[in-house]
Structure 1
Amino acid sequence: MIHQQTLTVPSRGRGTIEITAEVEQIVAASGVRTGLCNVFIRHTSASLIVCENADPSVRQDLERFAARLAPDGDPLFRHTLEGPDDMPAHVRSILTQTALTIPVVDGSPALGTWQGVFVWEHRTQPHRRLVVVTVQGDA
């Protein structure tokens, strides 16, 4: 059995947006009891992460760390067609993930107690991100 759905995730600019509940709803609607859930973002300047969802300071610290690794306006970067955050957003996306695979156990994503699924927007301006969720397995 395969079930697929695309989420539209609006961002307010750089930062994380939790989509755990939406992923859980898609898995539940699929009817899959045992299998895999693949989550894929269709962009090159945003990514996906499984991260702690209890303490937002974890994600704030990640944002500060990413700013050190790929600072906006770094003269190293030539690709600046869409502004000083353009290439840093691509670097951040490449260093993280564009796809996640989560086991489905007893009809639910098998996330740990403090784990959540997040879109990590790397651009400073708001965007609408498309996330494809595919659930595959046995009913």
Structure 2
Amino acid sequence: MRQSHGALSIATRGPGLVEITRGVADWLAAQRIADGLLTVFCRHTSASLLINENAAPAVQRDIQRYFAQAAPESTGYEHDDEGPDDMPAHLRTALTQVSLSIPVADGAMVLGTWQGIFLFEHRARPHSRHIALHVIGE
């Protein structure tokens, strides 16, 4: 059994979904582990990870609209240290995920045909986000 860890840095442009599937796949291929389990972990409390459809851009727009309604920007939150988008970003992260577990077979992620991995930026301004990667297997 072998394991390896690494990281990706993702520049965001503000709120929205950034597909990171290719970057994760490229890192995984370089590890030369044929079968195992990959963990993708977002090291932030105001950004998250999703596996969702990567073929129709309307899916991404609908996801963003849903979360904007579910946790709207407001001055009504007690926690507003960094502005009106601060607490909604934390709520959106709590409603999604910061860690994904993805099976690895034949040296590749076992994703469905239309599945992609997305970093979901919840803050209003651009950020540099850090994703930790870990794979264990043979």
2:69 counterpart residue number: 68
Q: Which residue of 1 aligns with 2:98?
A: 98
Runs of 4+, deviation exceeding 4 Å: none
Verify: 1:22 aligned to 2:16, yes or no: no
Between the aligned partners of 1:39 and 1:74, the Cα distance in structure 2 is 33
Alignment coverage as a number of residue pairs: 137
**Secondary structure in structure 2 of the residue aligned to 1:26:** helix
SS of residue in 2 equivalent to 1:132: strand
SS in 1 for 2:14: coil
Q: Are 2:25 and 1:33 equivalent residues in the alignment? A: no
- Listed one character per residue, the Cα deviations across residues 28-71 of structure 1 (whole Å, up to 9, x for unaligned) are 11111000010000000000000100011101101100011100
Aligned counterpart, 1:13 = 14
* CA distance in structure 1 between the partners assigned to 2:136 and 2:60 by the alignment: 30
Q: Secondary structure at the match of 1:33?
A: coil
Structure 1 unmatched runs, 5+: none
1: CA distance, partners of 2:60 / 2:51: 11
1:129 has 2:129 as partner: yes
Q: Write the distance in 2 (CA, Å) between the matches of 1:5 and 1:110.
A: 19
Deviation at 1:3, TM superposition (A): 1.2
Q: Secondary structure at the match of 1:8?
A: strand
SS at match of 1:21: helix
Percent of residue pairs bearing the same amino acid type: 48
Per-residue deviation, 1:74? 5.1
The gaps in structure 2 that reach 5 residues or longer are none
Q: Secondary structure of 2:55's match?
A: coil
TM-score, scaled to structure 2: 0.97
For residue 131 of structure 2, give the secondary structure of its aligned residue in structure 1.
Answer: strand
- TM-score for both structures, normalised by structure 1: 0.97
2:3 maps to 2
Aligned letter for 2:103? P
Amino acid in the other structure paired with 1:47:
S
Aligned-residue Cα RMSD (Å) equals 0.7
